[in-house]
């Protein structure tokens, strides 16, 4: 259980040095500490003490962002509310035999909604009255949900999400998650357009995920490092439990669906064989860990180090994972934690999307491991 800490003395905000491939400061919103030397240093300091609430952390962080005006506080708080509601339902998933199977009627004769469409609706309803959210796009919806003018204030942002990723794992009690990404809207007409979503991932102003696991955690970044908050279910509040997450530069874990090995291209096969070789000096062999829930596989590798691969193969040249809903948010998070994400040739965050549901090969994790796989794919490495 995460304890409530007494009010801590605000520590100095630590600026992290960025690797050459690292995330560059977001241009259109001031996410850097205030340049005004006259400003009280307390006011430009974000709390990083373990045990403070998510809400307090976001507020403290926002004080440094002159343009943010409390928008992220309410956005993150709406997302965390949705996460708690989804979490409550996920926790009941084992009771489906008693309450009724999704897609069927329950004992009261009511139709039981599938958990992924339920999660989709919860997130939409949590965000569509926000005022700053002009449109929502979800892996569950073919087209974006454009927020009506009545509910728009400034409508400056669009939000993209995968409401329940890894949903094939629900009925076997394995961790699943929700993934989200926030972009600043580009068009200025009365309604948001698809083009507002089709921006490279480097333009995200916030990205995060919620993992429904042995405990429920919300992990997010606004471009100033990555922080993880654990839900204390007895009080229904997220508390800072993992400040300033850093992924090790090299891991010892690889995560890939080896059932697809017969369809892999030769460099991927060579790379995976390389990881299995015995060579103490380079930390091999690696351990294989694959859950089949991106959020869970990613979260483990983020904390322990390692590489997750969903490559393009002979059957699916672009792999399986979606650029906007899955790859971009995870890529911003991993870069902010000091790692890297690539489609094999290019940084994921540099890809200009051409459609909402676009799939891309994904190689994501510890920086040195991503460098290695890129070497194998380019033919430079054995």
**What order of strands is seen across the sheet that includes strand 340-342?**
287-288, 253-255, 307-310, 362-365, 340-342
Residue 293 interacts, among Mg ion, ligand AHM, none and using kind-specific CB cut-offs from 5 to 8 Å, with ligand AHM
Cβ nearer to ligand AHM, comparing 131 with 292: 292
- Asked if 341 contacts 275 with a C-beta cutoff of 8 angstroms, the reply is no
Cβ nearer to Mg ion, comparing 163 with 338: 163
Selected from 292, 304, 358, 381, the binder of ligand AHM by CB under 6 A is 292
Query: Is position 167 an interface residue for ligand AHM (rule: CB under 6 A)?
Result: yes
Minimal distance in Å, beta carbon 324 to Mg ion?
Answer: 11
Of the ranges 226-234, 288-296, 329-337, 351-359, which one interacts with ligand AHM (CB under 6 A)? 288-296
Which runs of E-coded beta strand occur in 271-373?
287-288, 307-310, 340-342, 362-365
Of the ranges 82-90, 142-150, 214-222, 292-300, which one interacts with ligand AHM (CB under 6 A)? 292-300
Of the ranges 52-60, 83-91, 165-173, 298-306, which one interacts with Mg ion (CB under 5 A)? 165-173
Selected from 62, 165, 297, 372, the binder of Mg ion by CB under 5 A is 165
Residue 320 interacts, among Mg ion, ligand AHM, none and using kind-specific CB cut-offs from 5 to 8 Å, with ligand AHM
Minimal distance in Å, beta carbon 159 to ligand AHM?
Answer: 17
Residues within window 133-152 making contact with ligand AHM, judged by CB under 6 A = 139
Site string for ligand AHM, 294-333 (x = CB under 6 A): x-------------------------x-------------
Selected from 87, 222, 227, 293, the binder of ligand AHM by CB under 6 A is 293
Cβ nearer to ligand AHM, comparing 61 with 313: 313
SS3 204: strand
Residue 369 interacts, among ligand AHM, Mg ion, none and using kind-specific CB cut-offs from 5 to 8 Å, with none
Nearest-angstrom CA–CA distance, 308 and 361: 11
Query: Is position 140 an interface residue for Mg ion (rule: CB under 5 A)?
Result: no
Nearest-angstrom CA–CA distance, 204 and 328: 8
Nearest-angstrom CA–CA distance, 305 and 47: 26
Residue 292 interacts, among Mg ion, ligand AHM, none and using kind-specific CB cut-offs from 5 to 8 Å, with ligand AHM
Selected from 144, 155, 163, 166, the binder of ligand AHM by CB under 6 A is 166
Which runs of E-coded beta strand occur in the chain?
133-138, 145-146, 157-165, 176-184, 204-212, 216-221, 227-232, 237-242, 253-255, 287-288, 307-310, 340-342, 362-365
Which residue has its beta carbon closest to Mg ion? 165
**Percent helix / strand / coil, the chain, rounded to 5:** 35, 20, 45
Judged by CB under 5 A, how many residues of this single chain contact Mg ion? 2
CA end-to-end distance (rounded Å), the chain? 47
Q: Which two tokens stand for residue 289?
A: 């860990």
Judged by CB under 6 A, how many residues of this single chain contact ligand AHM? 10
Query: Is position 186 an interface residue for ligand AHM (rule: CB under 6 A)?
Result: no
CB atoms under 10 Å from CB of 279, counted, come to 9
Q: How far, in Å, are 28, 29, 30, 225, 230 from residue 66 at the CA level?
A: 12, 9, 7, 18, 28
């Amino acid at each position: 259980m995460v304890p409530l800490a007494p009010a801590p003395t605000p520590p100095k905000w630590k600026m992290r040095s960025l690797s050459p491939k690292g995330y560059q400061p977001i241009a259109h919103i001031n996410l850097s500490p205030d340049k005004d030397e006259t400003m009280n240093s307390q006011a430009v300091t974000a709390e990083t003490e373990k045990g403070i609430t998510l809400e307090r952390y976001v507020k403290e962080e926002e004080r440094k962002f002159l343009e943010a005006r409390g928008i992220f506080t309410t956005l993150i708080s709406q997302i965390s509310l949705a996460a708690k509601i989804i979490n409550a339902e996920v926790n009941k998933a084992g009771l489906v035999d008693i309450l009724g199977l999704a897609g069927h009627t329950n004992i009261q004769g009511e139709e039981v909604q599938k958990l992924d469409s339920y999660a989709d609706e919860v997130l939409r309803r949590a965000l569509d009255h926000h005022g700053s959210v002009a449109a929502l796009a979800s892996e569950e919806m073919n087209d974006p949900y454009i927020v009506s003018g009545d509910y728009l204030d400034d409508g400056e942002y669009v939000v993209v999400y995968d409401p329940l990723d890894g949903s094939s794992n629900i009925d076997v009690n394995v961790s699943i998650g929700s993934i989200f990404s926030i972009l600043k809207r580009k068009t200025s007409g009365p309604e948001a357009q698809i083009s507002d979503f089709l921006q490279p991932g480097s333009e995200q102003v916030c990205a995060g995920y919620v993992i429904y696991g042995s405990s429920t955690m919300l992990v997010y970044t606004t471009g100033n490092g990555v922080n993880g908050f654990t839900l204390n279910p007895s009080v229904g509040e997220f508390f800072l439990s993992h400040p300033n997450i850093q992924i090790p530069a090299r891991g010892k874990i690889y995560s890939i669906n080896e059932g697809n090995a017969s369809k892999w291209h030769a460099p991927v096969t060579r790379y995976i064989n390389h990881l299995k070789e015995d060579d103490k000096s380079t930390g091999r062999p690696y351990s294989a860990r694959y859950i089949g829930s991106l959020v869970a596989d990613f979260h483990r590798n983020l904390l322990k180090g390692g590489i997750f691969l969903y490559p393009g193969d002979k059957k699916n040249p672009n792999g399986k994972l979606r650029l906007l809903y899955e790859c971009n948010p995870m890529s911003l998070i991993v870069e902010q934690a000091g790692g890297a994400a690539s489609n094999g040739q290019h940084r994921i965050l540099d890809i200009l999307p051409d459609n909402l549901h676009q799939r891309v090969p994904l190689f994501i994790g510890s920086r040195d491991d991503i460098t290695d796989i890129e070497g194998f794919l380019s033919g430079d490495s054995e």
